[in-house]
């Protein structure tokens, strides 16, 4: 449901959007397609968002790719971990199109 909301909001804003079920599928998609920005949930099956972000940042091809992390988690430890791993922005649920716009503005889109 949340992926669908993010996808719809990004499409309204003029973006083409691909969805991945989890971090593993996301990594596969990244190796097959170019992307301008990634929106990733933290809580995913098979490979969570922290693992996904860490793998992404270890790969030289994706070190500078902007990443917006999404979650219900709002604690300082989670936010600090995301920043340490290389997230560019963080949105907490519930998401709004204004929050998505602000994240994209922060990333210069």
pLDDT in tens, 84-95: 999 999 999 888
Instruction: Please give the average per-residue pLDDT across 51-61, as a whole number.
Output: 96
Query: The domain spanning residue 6 has which CATH number?
Result: 3.40.50.2300
Rounded CA gap, 37 and 94, in Å? 20
CA distances from 42 to 64, 65, 87, 102 (A): 19, 17, 11, 20
CA–chain centroid gap for 10, Å, is 12
Reported as a pLDDT band with limits 50, 70 and 90, residue 99 is very high
Q: Are 53 and 90 in contact (CB under 8 A)?
A: no
pLDDT at 105: 95
Residues spanned by the domain of 67 = 2-106
Reported as a pLDDT band with limits 50, 70 and 90, residue 1 is low
> To the nearest whole percent, how much of the chain has pLDDT over 90?
86
Rounded CA gap, 63 and 77, in Å? 22
Number of domains in the chain: 1
- Mean pLDDT (the chain) is 93
């Amino acid at each position: 449901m949340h992926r669908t909301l993010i996808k719809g909001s990004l499409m309204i804003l003029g973006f083409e959007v691909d969805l991945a079920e989890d971090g593993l599928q996301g990594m596969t998609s990244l190796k097959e397609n170019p992307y301008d920005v990634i929106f990733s949930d933290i809580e995913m099956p098979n490979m969570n968002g922290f693992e996904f972000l860490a793998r992404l940042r270890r790969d030289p091809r994706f070190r500078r790719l902007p990443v917006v992390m999404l979650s219900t988690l709002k604690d300082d430890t989670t936010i600090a971990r995301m920043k340490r791993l290389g997230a560019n922005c963080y949105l907490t649920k519930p998401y709004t199109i204004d929050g998505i716009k602000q994240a994209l503005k922060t990333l210069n889109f």
